[in-house]
Amino acid sequence: MKPFPRGVYPTMVTPFTADNKVDYNGVLEIIQWYTKKKVDGIFAICQSSEIFFLSFEERLELLKFILANRPAGMPIIASGHVADDIPTQLKEAKILIEAGADAYIFISNRFASQEQDDALFLRNLLAAADVLDNIPLGIYECPFPYKRLITPDAMREIAATGRFAFLKDTCCDLPQIAQKLEAAKGTPMQIYNAHSGSLLESLRLGCAGFSGVMANFHPELYVELCKIYDSDPERAQKVQDFVGFASLAEWQLYPVNAKYNLMLDGVKINYFTRSKNHNDFIAPRKMEIEQMYRTTQRFIQSVL
């Protein structure tokens, strides 16, 4: 299996209508926005998409719509298995894979409970990989409902199968990332860092790109950083300093604030969500995102 394309894979948010249905006009707007920002691919049907708050039918319909409307040549990777029992997960995964995603991404915490050890996790994960079609697979260290990180030892065993090409890493720890990179050396498995603050150093260590929530705010800066991290270290550090500091917005009221930021940038959606109460997005929080948006535009003009 060839290595997966490097670069920036935003974790796609799902817009909703006022009556709490998926807003497909808004989905199309977001796809077009990602395209305009020249991202390298889209991570669809993920936690940012609010998959734990979507029915299976909604997840499938949403994925099919995204695939039908993607730009030619843009990779679409997808997750979507949220059930607690593995047979249901596999049944749903097979249907989602048949929809035509370029890679299917397993959620690491779905294969063992928080109290269970890595041996059981690995048995369940690798058994699941064995029964799925020969599609590139990936793993997402999703923090909900709990975070199960891939250890270097587990990484070595997973990567050695040759079936896995993508790890969305959320450990936020450079020494761990370095150990995982070493464990995956010589295999198709690549690491895409989700942590903005450590992105530049992780790229220098050998990570393949960025796949995080902040690509819903200013993806063009992440695209630029992934391009220049080695060739223009001084400008790369300037971009890193900005995106790392700006990523504090992740802790405000995500994904409500990300949807509001998209609105500020001309995307015709609203900031309704199922995972958070949009009424908690009060005026002071809006002001903070508006100020960050204006600051971001000035910064982009100065560095791009």
Preceding omega of 255 cis (within 30 degrees of 0)? yes
| The pLDDT value given to residue 288 | 98
Distance CA 238, CA 58 (A): 41
| The pLDDT value given to residue 134 | 82
* Contact of 136 with 159, CB cutoff 8 Å: no
Residue 1 has pLDDT above 80, yes or no: no
Per-residue pLDDT of 285-300, as tens digits, reads 999 999 999 999 999 9
Measured from the Cβ of residue 85, the count of other Cβ atoms closer than 10 Å reads 9
The band of 4, judged by pLDDT with boundaries at 50, 70 and 90, is confident
Phi, psi torsion values for 76, nearest 5 degrees: -120, 115
Chain centroid to Cα 178, Å, comes to 20
CATH of domain 7-251: 3.20.20.70
- The ranges assigned to domains in the chain are 7-251
Residue 186 has pLDDT above 80, yes or no: yes
The band of 133, judged by pLDDT with boundaries at 50, 70 and 90, is confident
The tokens 């499938």 sit on which residue?
A: 60
Mean pLDDT confidence for 75-103: 93
Per-residue pLDDT of 204-224, as tens digits, reads 999 999 999 999 999 999 999
Half-sphere exposure of 107 (CA within 13 A, CB side): 28
Mean pLDDT confidence for 126-133: 92
Distance CA 193, CA 199 (A): 6
Three-state DSSP class for residue 232 = coil
Q: Which residues pair with 138 in a beta bridge?
A: 105, 166
pTM: 0.96
Distance CA 84, CA 140 (A): 16
Tell me the one-letter amino acid at 135.
I
| The pLDDT value given to residue 243 | 98
What is the pLDDT of the chain when averaged over all its residues? 96
